């Protein structure tokens, strides 16, 4: 079986996988990182979003082998080493932006990338369009949009530190 070597949340692993293994299957089944979820099979829901070399990617739409040599960050890897939550995690909790929690990891990972890539700031409308690739069935998005909006100043201030 082919081998894939990648760095996930700062830890480098080499794993043998079947060639058809998806990145999300590698993360969940081989590395035990079950925070990344699978909510569909057509790349529509975004529950599986992770960061690869700093860009948000749907881990169900990429073969594990394609991630060879990359740096992957999952929901388990975004809090600080001392456990301090990422501002996006904090704001999701503060603004009640999650209910069942299943879409949340992908939603948070997409939102972090969205905000980080737009230091000029995003309007409510831009945030809503930016979330097009992520489905939530519980919240009606109202509080997710609020949480992302509130995280903008916190994230940009942190980036400027």
Partner 1 sequence: MNAVFQGIGASVRRTEDLRFISGNGNYTDDINRPGQTYTIFKRSDRPHAKITGIDSTAASAMPGVVAIFTAADFAGVGGLPCGWQIHNKDGSPMAEPKHPILADGKVRHVGDPVVMVIAETKQQARDAAEALVIGYEDLPSYSASRDALAAGAAAVHDDAPGNLCYDWHIGDKDATDAAFAKAARVVKLDLLNSRLIANPMEPRSAIGDYDRSGDMHTLYTTSQNPHVIRLLMGAFVLGIPEHKLRVVAPDVGGGFGTKIFHYAEEAAVTWAAAKINRPVKWTSDRSEAFISDAHGRDHDSHAEMALDADNNFLGMRVSTMANLGAYLSTFGPAVPTYLYATLLAGVYKTPAIYCEVKAVFTNTVPVDAYRGAGRPEASFLVERLVDAICHDTGADPVALRRQNFIPRDAFPYQTPVAVQYDSGDYFATLETALKNADYAGFPARKAAAAAKGKLRGIGLSTYLEACGIAPSKLVGQLGARAGLYEVANVRVNPTGSVTVFTGTHSHGQGHETTFAQLVVDQLGVAHNQVQIVHGDTDRIPFGMGTYGSRSLAVGGSAMVKAMDKIILKGRKIAAHLLEASVEDIEFKDGKFSVAGTDRAKTFGEIALTAYVPHNYPIETLEPGLDETAFYDPANFTFPGGCHICEVEIDPDTGVTSVVQFVAVDDVGRVINPMIVEGQIQGGVAQGIGQALLEHAVYDAQGQLLSGSFMDYTMPRADNLSNISVGTENTLCTHNPLGAKGCGEVGAIGSPPAVINAVVNALSAYGVRHMNMPASADKVWNIINGGLRAAAE
Interacting residue ranges for partner 1, rule: CB under 8 A? 18, 20, 28, 33-42, 44-45, 47, 74-76, 79, 85, 89, 92-94, 96, 98-105, 108, 124-125, 127-129, 131-132, 134-145
Least separation in angstroms between residue 107's CB and partner 1 is 10
- Measured from the CB atom, is 21 or 70 closer to partner 1? 21
Cβ-proximal residues to 98 (8 Å cutoff; 6+ apart), any chain: 92, 104, 107, 138, 139, 144
Q: How far is the CB of 32 from partner 1 (least distance, A)?
A: 9
In angstroms, the CA 65 to CA 37 distance is: 19
Inter-residue contact 126 to 118 (CB < 8 Å): yes
CB of 159 to partner 1, least distance (A): 20
Paired tokens of 147:
């949480």
Neighbours of 108 (CB within 10 A): 26
Shortest distance, position 91 Cβ to partner 1, whole Å: 10
CB nearer to partner 1: give 70 or 89. 89
Of 53 and 124, the one with the shorter C-beta distance to partner 1 is 124
Asked if 112 and 148 count as a contact pair (C-beta separation under 8 A), the reply is: no
């Amino acid at each position: 079986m082919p081998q894939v070597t990648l760095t996930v949340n700062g830890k480098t692993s080499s794993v043998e996988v079947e060639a058809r293994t998806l990145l999300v299957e590698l993360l969940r089944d081989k590395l035990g990182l079950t925070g990344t979820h699978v909510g569909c099979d057509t790349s529509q829901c975004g529950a599986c979003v992770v960061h690869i070399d700093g860009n948000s990617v749907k881990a169900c739409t990429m073969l594990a082998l394609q991630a060879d040599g990359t740096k992957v960050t999952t929901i388990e890897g975004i809090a600080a080493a001392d456990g301090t939550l990422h501002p996006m995690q904090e704001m999701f909790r503060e603004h009640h932006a999650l209910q069942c929690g299943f879409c949340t990891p992908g939603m948070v990972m997409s939102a972090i990338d969205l905000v980080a890539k737009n230091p000029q700031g995003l309007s409510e409308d831009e945030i809503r369009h930016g979330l097009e690739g992520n489905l939530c069935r519980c919240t009606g998005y109202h509080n997710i949009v609020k949480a992302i909006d509130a995280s903008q100043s916190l994230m940009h201030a942190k980036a400027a530190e």
